[in-house]
C-alpha cells in the first residue's frame, strides 16, 4: 500500500512525513535552501499493526503539479494536508481534484500546525472543517476522518497512524484483481540513479503485477530489451518478489542513467505494447468554466509521464463541466498504458482558485482503431461488459489477425487465469474460435522469458564501500543485490499461447471469400477456378492459419470445391462464352502450328486482337486443360513439349550429359526458345543443370 500527501505549498506536508517516519524527504540542495518540496520524496512508515507502507511526499507549489500528479497516480490512501492558520488554498482544491481523477481510494483530512489553533480564536476549527467538508463532497475524502496534528509537538501523530492503519486494512480486505499479482507488471518510473557497484537503479510504485529478479523486462516506450533484473528492494530491503502497491527499486545493470527518464514504464518483456492511441472514459471537472470542444490539444499526465495529445470526443460535439463521455487520445509520442489506468488533462489557463487541471478519466482500450460515428455505444458496452464479452469485443476489433492470449491478457484488465477460463467458455459457446496454437517460453513462476535465455549467475556478494550510497529512503539500494545469487532459475518451460478470432469476424471472412469467388467467375467464366493464394490476396492477406480455417469450413460445407490448387464455387468454372471459346480455339491452333517456336505474347496480342492480360488468361486456361505448357513468358503446345521430352529421353539413353550446344542441335532452336524450354525441364525435374550441362534425373527416367 502507498500513502501519499496532498495539499498547498508550505502547509507542512514534508514536516508531517518526517514526524511520522523519521525520514526527511527533501533530498535536493535547492529544496533545503528554499524550504519547499520541488520533487517527489519517498519514505516508509511502520503502522501499529506491524504493516509497513510506502509514503510519497509531493510538491505543493502550482509550478510542480506535474510532479505531484506523477506521484499521486499510485497512491492508495491520501493525506490531504491543510495548515490550520491558512485553511483551503488553490492547490488544496487542485490536489483534491487530482486525487479524485486519479482514483485514490481512501483519504484522511490532516490539519497541520495544530499548535497554532488556540491562538486562532474560538470556532476557527469548526469553520475550517465546514469549509473542508464542503470542498471534499463527492471525492475520496468525503466522510474522511479529520485529525489535528502538530509536527512540532507531536500532537495527533499516533491517532493519524491508527487511522492510516485502519484504512490500509480496509483496502487490503477489498483487493482489486485487475491490479493484483496475477495482472501484467506495470511499474511507472519516477526516479533513476546510479548506485556505486551496481549501476542503474530505477524506482516507482508497482501499479499491478508481481515482479521478481528472474523476470526479463522492458522500459516502455523505446527500450524493449529484454533486460535482466539484477535485484529488487522494497522499503530498503532486498526481496525475492515485489507485488502491486509496493514502492520498488529495480537494479538494471545493462542500462545507463542517461538512457532512462521519468515517464517510462517497466513491464515484463513482451507482455504489454507501447501505443500512441487510447480509448478512454473522460470526465470534465465541474469547476471548469467552458466546455471541452470536440477536438482539442491538451497535456496528458499518464502514470509518471506527461505527453501532448489530441483529444477527440466520441459521438458528442462538446463535453460540458461535470459531464462524462468517451474519447480517443492520440499522443504526439509513444506512451505505455494499461486498461484501468487513470490520467489527467491539464490546460494552459489556470482556473482561478483551483489550478490548471481540467479533466481526467480511465483507460479503456490500448491501440484501438480510429473511432467513427456511433462508436460510443460500443465503448459503453465494453466499459460495462463482463470479461467474456470484453474478450469477444476485443477480438472483433482485432479483425482477421485475432489476438493471442498474451495480447488479450494485456488488454482485458483481468488475470491470466480468468482470461483463459473466459476464452474456454466463449469458445464452447461458439463466440470465439481457436485458430492457432503457439508457445512462448516462461519462467517457473509463470512469467514470460526470452527464447533461448540462459541461466545467469549473480555477481557475488557485494560489500559496502567507502563513499557508497546508503540505503535510499525511496527504496533505492545502497546494497541492492548484496546477497549472493546463484542462478536459481530453472530451465524455462513452454506455455501454450493460443490465438483466437471472433466467430463473427470468421463468418464475415467466409462471406467475403464466397463473394470474391462469385465475382471471379463472372469476370473469368472460362477459367477453371481461382488459385488459392490469389483468393487470399483478394481478401487482404489474412494470416495463413485464419485463411486455412476459412477454406476448410467452406470446403466441408460444400460451398466451395477444390480442383488441384484452384478454388471455385460448385458447378462453376470453364463456362466459355462463344467469343472466348473462339479465341481459345484460335490460340490453340497458333500454338500447335508453331510447335517449339511459338508466337510471343506481343504476336499473340496482335493475332487475337486482345489485351495482354486476356491473352495470358486464355493461355492459362489451355494449360489447366492440358493443351498447353507455359515456359517463362511463352506458351507451347502440349504436343510439342511431349515430343521434345521423348527426344531428350532418347538422347540420354546413349549419352550421360546434354550440353547447351547439343540441345540446340537437337531442337534447331535459337536461345529465345531454347533457354525457357531448358529451364522448364529443369523445373519439372526431368533434367538437372550442372554448370553448362544437364543430366537426366533418374527418378524421372
Q: What is the pLDDT of residues 355-382, one digit of tens each?
A: 678 899 989 988 888 888 888 888 888 8
The average pLDDT across 640-654 equals 92
Provide the grid cell at 119: 491562538
CATH 2.40.30.10 matches 178-268: yes
CATH 3.40.50.300 domain locations along the chain: 2-174
Structure letter (DSSP) for residue 396: H
When pLDDT is cut at 50, 70 and 90, the band that residue 488 belongs to is very low
- In this prediction, residue 596 carries a pLDDT of 92
Percent of the chain with pLDDT over 70: 84
Q: How far is CA 530 from CA 522, 534, 566, 610, 622, in A?
A: 12, 7, 5, 21, 15
- For the domain made up of 385-457+494-575, give the CATH fold: Arc Repressor Mutant, subunit A (1.10.10)
When pLDDT is cut at 50, 70 and 90, the band that residue 575 belongs to is low
- Give the phi and the psi of residue 534 in degrees, each rounded to 5: -65, -40
- In this prediction, residue 110 carries a pLDDT of 92
Q: What is the pLDDT of residues 526-536, one digit of tens each?
A: 777 889 899 99
Checking if the pLDDT of 454 tops 50, the result is no
Q: What is the pLDDT of residues 171-211, one digit of tens each?
A: 888 767 667 778 889 999 988 888 887 888 898 888 888 89
Specify which residues 375 forms β-bridges with. Answer: none
Distance of CA 335 to the CA centre of its chain: 10
The average pLDDT across 106-127 equals 88
Q: What is the pLDDT of residues 421-443, one digit of tens each?
A: 889 898 888 888 888 765 444 44
CB 201, CB 249: distance < 8 Å: yes
Q: What is the pLDDT of residues 558-569, one digit of tens each?
A: 999 888 788 988
Kindly report whether the global pTM for this prediction surpasses the value 0.95: no
Which of 290, 416, 420 has the alpha carbon at shortest distance from 349?
290
CATH 2.40.30.10 domain locations along the chain: 178-268
When pLDDT is cut at 50, 70 and 90, the band that residue 479 belongs to is very low
What is the sign, positive or negative, of the torsion defined by CA atoms of 665, 669, 675, 676? negative
The average pLDDT across 544-557 equals 90
CATH 1.10.10.10 domain locations along the chain: 385-457+494-575, 578-700
The average pLDDT across 267-291 equals 90
CA distance 413 to 615: 57
Specify which residues 78 forms β-bridges with. Answer: 4, 107
Rounded (to 5) percent helix, strand, coil in the chain = 35, 30, 35
When pLDDT is cut at 50, 70 and 90, the band that residue 291 belongs to is very high
Helix, strand, or coil (residue 578): helix
Q: Which residues contact 374 (CB under 8 A, 6 or more apart)?
A: 315
Tell how strand 52-57 and strand 2-7 pair up.
parallel
Using CB atoms within 10 Å of the CB of residue 109, give its burial: 0 to 12 exposed, 13 to 18 middle, 19+ buried: buried
Range in 165-169, 598-602, 624-628 the model is least confident about: 624-628
CATH of span 2-174: 3.40.50.300
CATH of span 578-700: 1.10.10.10
The average pLDDT across 147-176 equals 87
When pLDDT is cut at 50, 70 and 90, the band that residue 24 belongs to is confident
When pLDDT is cut at 50, 70 and 90, the band that residue 466 belongs to is very low
When pLDDT is cut at 50, 70 and 90, the band that residue 622 belongs to is confident
Q: What is the pLDDT of residues 305-364, one digit of tens each?
A: 889 999 999 999 999 999 999 999 999 999 999 988 889 898 766 666 566 788 999 899
Q: How many C-beta neighbours within 10 Å does residue 580 have?
A: 18
| 599 vs 440: which has the higher pLDDT | 599
3-state secondary structure labels for all residues of 497-523 = EEEEEEHHHHHHHHHHHHHHHHHHHHH
Q: How far is CA 353 from CA 8, 89, 94, 362, in A?
A: 11, 7, 8, 25
- In this prediction, residue 700 carries a pLDDT of 42
* Mean per-residue pLDDT of the chain: 81
The average pLDDT across 623-636 equals 89
Checking if the pLDDT of 451 tops 50, the result is no
- In this prediction, residue 115 carries a pLDDT of 85
Checking if the pLDDT of 478 tops 90, the result is no
When pLDDT is cut at 50, 70 and 90, the band that residue 385 belongs to is confident
The tally of CA atoms less than 13 A away on the side-chain side of residue 60 is 26
- In this prediction, residue 101 carries a pLDDT of 85
- In this prediction, residue 199 carries a pLDDT of 86
Amino acid at each position: 500500500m502507498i500513502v501519499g500527501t496532498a495539499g498547498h505549498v508550505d502547509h507542512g506536508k514534508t514536516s508531517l512525513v518526517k514526524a511520522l517516519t523519521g525520514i526527511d524527504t527533501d533530498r535536493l540542495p535547492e529544496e533545503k535552501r528554499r524550504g519547499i518540496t520541488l520533487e517527489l520524496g519517498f519514505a516508509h512508515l511502520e503502522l501499529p499493526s506491524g504493516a509497513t507502507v510506502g509514503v510519497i511526499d509531493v510538491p505543493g507549489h502550482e509550478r510542480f503539479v506535474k510532479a505531484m500528479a506523477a506521484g499521486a497516480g499510485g497512491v492508495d490512501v491520501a493525506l490531504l494536508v491543510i495548515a490550520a492558520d491558512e485553511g483551503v488554498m488553490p492547490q488544496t482544491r487542485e490536489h483534491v481534484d487530482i486525487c479524485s481523477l486519479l482514483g485514490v481510494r481512501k483519504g484522511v483530512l490532516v490539519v497541520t500546525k495544530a499548535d497554532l489553533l488556540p491562538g486562532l480564536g474560538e470556532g476557527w476549527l469548526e469553520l475550517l472543517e465546514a469549509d473542508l467538508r464542503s470542498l471534499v463532497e463527492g471525492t475520496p475524502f468525503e466522510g474522511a476522518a479529520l485529525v489535528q496534528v502538530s509536527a512540532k509537538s507531536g500532537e495527533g501523530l499516533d491517532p493519524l497512524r491508527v487511522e492510516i492503519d485502519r484504512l490500509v486494512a480496509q483496502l487490503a480486505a477489498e483487493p482489486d484483481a485487475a491490479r493484483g499479482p496475477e495482472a501484467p507488471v506495470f511499474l511507472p518510473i519516477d526516479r533513476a540513479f546510479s548506485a556505486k557497484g551496481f549501476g542503474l537503479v530505477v524506482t516507482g510504485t508497482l501499479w499491478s503485477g508481481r515482479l521478481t529478479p528472474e523476470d526479463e523486462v522492458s522500459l516502455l516506450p523505446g527500450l524493449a530489451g529484454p533486460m535482466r533484473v539484477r535485484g529488487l528492494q522494497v522499503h530498503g530491503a532486498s526481496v525475492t518478489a515485489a507485488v502491486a502497491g509496493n514502492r520498488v527499486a529495480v537494479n538494471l545493470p545493462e542500462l545507463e542513467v542517461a538512457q532512462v527518464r521519468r515517464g517510462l514504464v517497466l513491464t515484463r518483456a513482451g507482455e504489454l505494447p507501447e501505443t500512441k492511441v487510447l480509448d478512454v472514459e473522460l470526465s470534465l471537472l465541474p469547476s471548469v468554466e467552458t466546455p471541452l470542444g470536440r477536438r482539442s490539444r491538451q497535456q496528458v499526465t499518464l502514470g509518471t509521464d506527461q505527453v501532448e495529445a489530441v483529444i477527440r470526443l466520441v459521438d458528442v460535439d462538446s463535453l460540458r463541466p461535470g459531464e462524462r463521455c468517451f474519447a480517443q487520445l492520440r499522443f504526439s509520442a509513444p506512451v505505455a498504458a494499461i486498461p484501468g489506468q487513470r490520467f489527467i488533462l491539464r490546460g494552459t489557463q489556470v482556473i482561478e482558485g483551483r489550478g490548471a487541471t481540467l479533466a481526467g478519466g480511465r483507460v479503456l482500450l490500448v491501440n484501438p482503431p480510429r473511432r467513427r460515428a456511433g462508436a460510443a455505444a460500443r465503448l459503453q458496452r465494453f466499459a460495462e461488459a463482463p470479461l467474456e464479452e470484453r474478450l469477444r469485443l476485443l477480438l472483433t476489433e482485432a479483425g482477421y489477425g485475432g489476438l493471442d492470449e498474451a495480447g488479450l491478457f494485456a488488454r482485458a484488465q483481468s488475470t491470466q487465469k480468468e482470461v483463459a477460463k473466459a476464452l474456454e467458455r466463449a469458445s464452447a459457446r461458439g463466440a470465439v474460435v481457436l485458430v492457432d496454437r503457439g508457445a512462448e517460453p516462461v519462467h517457473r513462476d509463470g512469467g514470460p522469458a526470452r527464447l533461448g535465455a540462459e541461466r545467469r549467475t549473480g555477481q557475488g556478494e557485494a560489500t559496502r564501500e567507502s563513499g557508497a550510497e546508503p540505503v535510499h529512503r525511496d527504496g533505492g539500494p545502497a546494497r541492492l543485490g548484496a546477497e549472493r545469487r546463484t542462478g536459481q532459475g530453472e530451465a524455462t518451460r513452454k506455455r501454450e499461447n493460443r490465438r483466437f478470432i471472433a466467430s463473427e469476424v470468421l463468418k464475415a471472412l467466409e462471406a467475403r471469400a464466397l463473394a470474391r469467388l462469385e465475382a471471379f467467375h463472372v469476370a473469368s467464366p472460362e477459367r477453371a477456378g481461382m488459385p488459392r493464394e490469389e483468393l487470399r490476396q483478394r481478401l487482404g492477406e489474412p494470416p495463413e492459419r485464419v485463411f486455412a480455417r476459412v477454406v476448410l469450413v467452406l470446403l466441408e460445407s460444400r460451398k466451395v470445391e477444390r480442383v488441384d490448387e484452384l478454388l471455385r464455387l460448385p458447378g462453376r468454372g470453364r463456362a466459355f462464352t462463344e467469343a472466348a471459346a473462339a479465341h481459345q480455339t484460335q490460340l490453340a491452333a497458333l500454338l500447335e502450328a508453331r510447335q517449339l517456336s511459338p508466337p510471343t505474347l506481343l504476336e499473340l496480342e496482335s493475332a487475337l486482337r486482345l489485351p495482354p492480360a486476356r491473352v495470358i488468361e486464355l493461355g492459362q486456361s489451355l494449360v489447366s486443360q492440358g493443351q498447353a505448357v507455359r515456359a517463362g513468358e511463352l506458351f507451347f503446345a502440349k504436343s510439342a513439349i511431349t515430343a521434345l521430352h521423348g527426344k531428350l529421353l532418347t538422347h540420354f539413353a546413349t549419352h550421360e550429359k546434354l550440353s547447351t550446344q547439343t540441345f540446340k542441335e537437337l531442337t534447331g532452336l535459337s536461345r529465345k526458345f531454347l533457354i525457357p524450354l531448358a529451364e522448364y525441364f529443369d523445373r519439372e525435374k526431368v533434367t538437372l543443370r550442372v554448370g553448362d550441362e544437364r543430366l537426366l534425373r533418374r527418378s524421372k527416367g
